[in-house]
Structure formats: structure tokens, C-alpha cells
Amino acid sequence: MQNWAALEAEIISCRRCPRLVEWREGVARTKRRAYQGEVYWGKPVPGFGDRCARVLVVGLAPAAHGANRTGRMFTGDSSGNFLYAALFRAGFADRPMSLGANDGLTLHDVFVSAACRCAPPDNRPTPGELAACLPFLAGEMALLPELQVIVALGHIAFEAVLRMYPEQGRATPRLRFGHALAQPLGAARPWLVASYHPSRQNTQTGRLTPEMFDEVWSTTRALLA
């Protein structure tokens, strides 16, 4: 088994997917006007949080001007603001917002990761790109020995979690995606809790409200108890 330092080094140095490499680095060079004075991360983004966590949060991918800029998952964009505010309300974070990798945010009992580690064009990684990233998620899970609950943010993250076990030669039950739905992955495995992704498209249209998102974390708390 890898240690955390070795796994993070492997993730950050990955160049397996030419399309993603070109896109993430191009965004980091051109930048958004509001961030012209900043140095973008522009590399694959490792997970972040409590390395003794019982809860693993799996998102879709770094945002082009969010984690691809800051170098920390769900940091510096509206999705991250929505997520960390909810984690704060649920007692999993010590503050309700994450603006940069050095802002001092501390997560309690939660580790945040993603199905894809590079910012993809139009937020849509291909099946092959997701498959290339899957070993990184498996590696993080292996380093979380107390893991009890996986929270999948969005259908793509949900499917990535389900796909991981068969790739390791272990079958999984047939599960369906449903917001705040908790389902067991099998004996001696974590529970899987599904949630709509906290994207601006979902939060600004009311498809995902703060109250709906809080339900996900109260369900998670109940499973830990």
C-alpha cells in the first residue's frame, strides 16, 4: 500500500490523458480576468481533508477556475462554497467557506476527493479519462481504514464509486441514484449516500437547496452513529 505522500505525488505528476493535460494547462495560462494576478495550479488535484476520516466525499472534477486554480478540491468556486457551508453546518468543517489552499480550513472526519483529478472541458470527462483516474480514488480509500460512508456528489461520482469495486475483482450490488438515498455497498464496506451535485446549475435553479443538502449530511451523521 502507498503512503499519502507517494499517492499525492503520483496524482500530481499524472499526464495519462492528453486532452485533460492540454485543457487544464491552457486554462492555467490564459486565466480568468478576475484571477490574472494569481498563479494557477494547473495540475491534477489530490484529495483533501482528515486522513483519519470516516466519511469520503466524491465529487466530479476540479473546476477550471476553482480547484484547477487553487490546487485544493472544491476550493475557490460556488460549488465549494455550497459544500463547505453545509459541512460547517453539520460539524464537519471549522469554517463555512474555502477561498484558497492556505486559508486554514480544517475538516473533521471528512476527506474530499473526486472521480476525475483534472479540470475537463465543459465539466465532462470521458469514460476513458474517468477510468484512468479510478486507481487514485481506490488508493485514497485504501488509506482511510476507518471509512464508513461515501457521499457521491452527482451521478458520475456515484457511478465511479460503483465501478471501482468490480475493477478490483469485487462485485457490487445494483444500486440506484437518488438524492439523500443511503444504500449499503456490501458486507464490510462503506454505505453509499447519493446527492445532487452542488453545481451552480443545480443550486441556482432550486434543484438542490441548502435544506436538501443538509439532509445528506444528517443522513451521513446517522449512519456514523
**Model pLDDT, residue 164:** 87
Question: What does the alpha-carbon distance between residue 86 and residue 45 come to, in Å, rounded to a whole number?
Answer: 22
∠ CA 197-76-12 to the nearest 5 degrees?
85
**Model pLDDT, residue 212:** 98
Pairing state of beta strands 48-49 and 110-114?
A: antiparallel
**Model pLDDT, residue 165:** 80
- pTM here is 0.96
Give the start-to-end residue ranges of the domains of the chain.
4-224
CB 182 within 8 A of CB 192: yes
**Model pLDDT, residue 134:** 96
Kindly tell me the sign of the dihedral angle through the C-alpha atoms of 66, 75, 46, 125: negative
Question: What does the alpha-carbon distance between residue 85 and residue 210 come to, in Å, rounded to a whole number?
Answer: 9
Nearest Cα neighbor of 58 from 201, 210, 190 is 190
Give the right CATH number for 4-224 from 3.30.70.20, 1.10.150.20, 3.30.390.30, 3.40.470.10.
3.40.470.10
**Model pLDDT, residue 1:** 61
Rounded to 10°, the helix 210-224/78-89 angle is: 50
Partnered with residue 191 across adjacent β-strands are: 149, 184
**Model pLDDT, residue 166:** 73
pLDDT digits (tens, 9 = 90+) for 138-147: 999 999 999 9
Low-confidence ranges of the chain (pLDDT < 50): none
Nearest Cα neighbor of 201 from 82, 96, 121 is 82
**Model pLDDT, residue 173:** 82
